[in-house]
Structure formats: structure tokens, C-alpha cells
Amino acid sequence: MTWAAALEDLRMHLKLERSLSPRSVEAYLRDLAKLRAYAEQQTPPLAPADVRLDDLQDFVTHTVRAGLAATSQARLLSAIRGFYRHLLREKVVREDPTELLDSPRIGRHLPTFLTVPEVDALVNAIDMSRPLAHRDRAMVETLYGCGLRVSELCALRRSWLHFSEGFIRVIGKGDKERLVPIGPEAIRQIERYIADERVHLPVKPKAEDIVFLNQRGGALSRVSVFNLVKALAVKAGIHKTISPHTFRHSFATHLVEGGADLRAVQEMLGHASITTTEIYTHLDREYLRSNILQFHPRAKRRA
């Protein structure tokens, strides 16, 4: 089987049988395109069924020398393993060459989060005299108040807003649906935006049910939200490197700091595994440790 045929077969498998989103499928295939390019440059060129463990080890060494980060290497190897497991099921290969392939060791990364005063400073940095300022305020309040991914915010629909019950419906990764509690401040800002600003936009046919729109009446892009958050951080004097996802980290961290049950946080974030959510307990412990080192008389460094 050629690379083109094998990758197209995998595309259909990911789309139809695993129900991955188009974005996830494309990310998967982009990673595998690196292996294909490497295999086709060998002498003679290697088809998918010709690749052996030593070829994959050479490929990994090649990516390391090219400066690929450990996290990117891990994602790449995950895609390759999935690819060869699929080929094994389809009997294109007789054995899986990835079985003995080692993954790079990845240190546990504690994500950046905002303090409550920093969140307030970002909100206050919004110039409420500008067009669509209420939309921007509503988006920030929803990102922080509900812990949404930026893709979930951009895809949010009016028919998914159940304000009387205090919930919104969210479609997350892998088209998984969840109900997320929404607080009164986020509700108030969304309702004000819809009543005062959205009603005056020239809504495009495919965007009638989308909550957050751009000035032309179309669905807001993820890039637009990124740019908004970056600009607000500069204006608020926040020097951390932040993105819309930072609000999600802040949402979870503040819940854990306040004593929220980890399982409840997992449900609200839409994490498939509680192991992913446990990163916020590490953030909480790091926060406590820094406070002890700063304020406890026996923990302070001596001059």
C-alpha cells in the first residue's frame, strides 16, 4: 500500500469510526506527513509496510536534531503508533514496528494562570466606549466563568444557553457534549451583548444561532479571540505570556484553591481522564509552597 492510500484510509477511519473533529484529523495527518517525507527520501524509498524499528529510531533522531520539542515528539510518536496499529488491524503489516519505540521523557509542565486581581485588571482594560465592547466583556467573563476552550467559545450557540437553569451546553473535543454551570455575571454580560450589540449586526445565514459574532455578522474566529486577549494583557500591564486558554487554567486553579471537588472540576472542564485535571492540584501545592517560603519565619531565606 502506498503512503497516499494508507493515509487516506486512515483519514476515513479517524473521521468515520473514531469521530474525530476535522481539526484533530488534520493534525494527525500533518504529523504523519513528516514520517512520509522522511521515508520517501531514503534510498530506496520506504513504503509504509517497509518501515522497521531502526528506521523509526533514525527518524526520531532526525527530529531531535531538527529541534523538535519533546512534547511535539511525543505527539508525533503517538500519531505514528496509532497509524501502525491501524495498519496492523487492516493486515497491511504483519507486525507493529512501534512496539519497542521509546517516547521522549516529558517533565510535568505547570500552566500559567492569572490571579483574581489580574483577571479583574483584564476585564477593566476593556474600553467600554468601543464598538462591540459588551461582546468582548461577555467573552472574557464566559472564558473565565465557565472554563471554556476558545474553540468551544467560538462555537457556542444561542440555543445552548439555558440561563434559567444556570447552565450552558458545550460541545468539546471529539464532539463530546457537557453541561457547564454559568454564573450571574457571565449571564448578565451575554444578555447585554445580545440585546444591545448583536441585534444590530448584519447576521450571516450560517451564523443565526452563533452567540459571538464579528462586525460583519459572521462567526468569530479563534485568532480574533487570541488577539483580543493579548491586547488586553498589554493594556492591563500583565507581563505573563497568556492566551484564551489561560482563563481556563485560571478557572480550574481558582476552583481547586477554593476547595472544589476534583471530579466536579473534571466534569466542568470536559477532561476524559482525571489525570489531566490533577495538574491543578500541583498548581495549588506550588501556590501554597510559594506562600510558605515568602511568609513563614522559618522558611524565609536568611540574608
Which residue in 149, 198, 249, 254 is the catalytic one?
149
Q: Cite the beta strand spans of 16-166 per DSSP E.
A: 161-162
DSSP characters for 104-135?
PP-PPPPPP---HHHHHHHHHTS-TTSTTHHH
- Residues of the chain with pLDDT > 70, as a percent, come to 90
Which one of 36, 134, 137, 248 is the catalytic residue? 248
Residue type, 166: G
Based on the residue annotation, tell me whether 62 is a catalytic residue of this protein: no
- Active-site entry in 192, 245, 282, 287: 245
Question: Using CA atoms, how far apart are residues 239 and 232, in angstroms rounded to an integer?
Answer: 11
Per-domain boundaries in the chain = 3-89, 116-293
Indicate the pTM of the whole model.
Answer: 0.66
Is residue 89 within 8 A of residue 17, CB to CB? The reply is no
pLDDT value of residue 161: 97
Please tell me the CATH code under which domain 3-89 is placed. Answer: 1.10.150
pLDDT of residue 170: 94
**Is residue 149 annotated as part of the catalytic site, yes or no?**
yes
| 173 assigned to active site | yes
Contact 225, 139 (CB under 8 A): yes
Q: pLDDT per residue over 26-82, tens digit each? A: 999 999 999 999 999 998 999 999 999 999 999 988 888 888 887 788 889 999 999
Q: Is 222 a catalytic residue?
A: no
Question: Which CATH class for the 116-293 domain?
Answer: mainly alpha
Of all residues in the chain, what percent carry a pLDDT higher than 90? 64
* Catalytic residue list contains 137: no
Q: Answer yes or no: 30 catalytic.
A: no
Q: Which of 75, 271, 282, 287 is catalytic?
A: 271
Out of 85, 173, 230, 282, pick the active-site residue: 173
Fold match, 3-89 / 116-293: no
Q: What is the pLDDT of residues 129-173, one digit of tens each?
A: 999 999 999 999 999 999 999 999 999 999 999 999 999 999 988
Averaged pLDDT for residues 270-298: 68
Residue 270 has pLDDT above 90, yes or no: no
Residue 108 vs residue 224, higher pLDDT: 224
Residues 6+ apart with CB under 8 A from 100: 53
Decide if 219 contacts 213 (C-beta within 8 A): yes
The chain-wide mean pLDDT, for the chain, equals 88
